[in-house]
Chains A and B, each alone.
Chain A
Amino acid sequence: MIDFSSFLQPLSGEPHVVIVLGKGGVGKTSVSLTIASELSELSDTLLVSFDPAKHIMEYLDLREPMKVVKVRGRLHACQLDIDLAAKEITSKYVDLLNEILPSLSVLNLEDVVKTMKYAPGVEEEVFLKRLLDIYRRSEFKYVVIDTPPTGISLRTLALPKLYMIWVEKLIEVRERIVSLRYVIAKTLGRKYEVDDPALKKLYEIREDYKYLNEVLKDFSRTSYVVVANPEPLPVHEMKEVISFLEGELRVKPKLLVLNKVLPKEVAVKLGVYEQQIKYVNEVGSMPYKSIMVGYLSNAPSKLDDIVKLKEASTVLRGGG
Chain B
Amino acid sequence: MFKRVYNVLREFVNFVRGVNQAIIEESVGALELEHMELEAAFLTLVMGSLTGVKTIPTLLSLELLEPLKDELKVLTSRAVKGKDVLGDLMSSLGGEW
Interface centre among A92, A104, A174 (most CB of B within 10 A): A174
Cβ contacts under 8 Å, B19 to chain A: none
B62 to chain A, nearest CB (A): 5
Q: Name the residue on B nearest A112 (C-beta).
A: B50
Complex-state Cα separation, A170 to B67, whole angstroms: 14
* A121-B58, A163-B60, A170-B46 known; A180-B67 Cβ under 8 A: no
Does any Cβ of A come within 8 Å of B90's Cβ?
no
Does any Cβ of A come within 8 Å of B35's Cβ?
yes
Contact in complex: A181, B65 (CB < 8 Å): no
Contact of A173 among B45, B57, B71, B73 (CB under 8 A): B45
Q: Name the residue on A nearest B70 (C-beta).
A: A100
Cβ contacts under 8 Å, B73 to chain A: 99-100
Complex-state Cα separation, A96 to B65, whole angstroms: 8
Q: Name the residue on A nearest B42 (C-beta).
A: A173
Does any Cβ of A come within 8 Å of B86's Cβ?
no
Contact in complex: B38, A176 (CB < 8 Å): yes
A-contacting residues, B25-72, CB 8 Å: 27-28, 31-32, 34-35, 38-39, 41-42, 45-47, 49-50, 54, 56-60, 62-69, 71-72
Give a binary string over A143-182; 1 marks a CB under 8 Å from any B CB, 0 the rest.
Answer: 0000000000000000100110011011001101100110
Contact in complex: A100, B64 (CB < 8 Å): no
Complex-state Cα separation, A101 to B42, whole angstroms: 16
Does any Cβ of A come within 8 Å of B76's Cβ?
yes
B-contacting residues, A95-144, CB 8 Å: 96-97, 99-104, 112, 116, 119-122, 125-126, 129
Contact in complex: B60, A93 (CB < 8 Å): no
Contact of B67 among A101, A126, A187, A200 (CB under 8 A): A200
Q: Name the residue on A nearest B59 (C-beta).
A: A125
Does any Cβ of B come within 8 Å of A90's Cβ?
yes
Does any Cβ of B come within 8 Å of A268's Cβ?
no
Complex-state Cα separation, A80 to B78, whole angstroms: 42
Does any Cβ of A come within 8 Å of B9's Cβ?
no
Contact of B59 among A96, A122, A162, A176 (CB under 8 A): A122
* A101-B72, A198-B67 known; A180-B59 Cβ under 8 A: no
Does any Cβ of A come within 8 Å of B13's Cβ?
no
Cβ contacts under 8 Å, A99 to chain B: 69, 73
Contact in complex: B38, A125 (CB < 8 Å): no
Q: Name the residue on B nearest A186 (C-beta).
A: B28
Cβ contacts under 8 Å, A170 to chain B: 42, 45-46, 56
Does any Cβ of B come within 8 Å of A183's Cβ?
yes
Complex-state Cα separation, A173 to B73, whole angstroms: 19
A168 to chain B, nearest CB (A): 12
Does any Cβ of B come within 8 Å of A267's Cβ?
no
Contact in complex: A100, B76 (CB < 8 Å): yes
Does any Cβ of B come within 8 Å of A306's Cβ?
no
B81 to chain A, nearest CB (A): 13
Contact in complex: A166, B66 (CB < 8 Å): no
Q: Name the residue on B nearest A185 (C-beta).
A: B28
Contact in complex: B76, A183 (CB < 8 Å): no
Q: Could you list 8 examples of A-B contacts with CB < 8 Å?
A: A96-B65, A100-B73, A169-B45, A173-B42, A174-B42, A180-B35, A181-B35, A187-B28
List chain A positions with a Cβ less than 8 A from chain B.
89-90, 92-93, 96-97, 99-104, 112, 116, 119-122, 125-126, 129, 159, 162-163, 166-167, 169-170, 173-174, 176-177, 180-181, 183-184, 187-188, 196-198, 200-202, 205
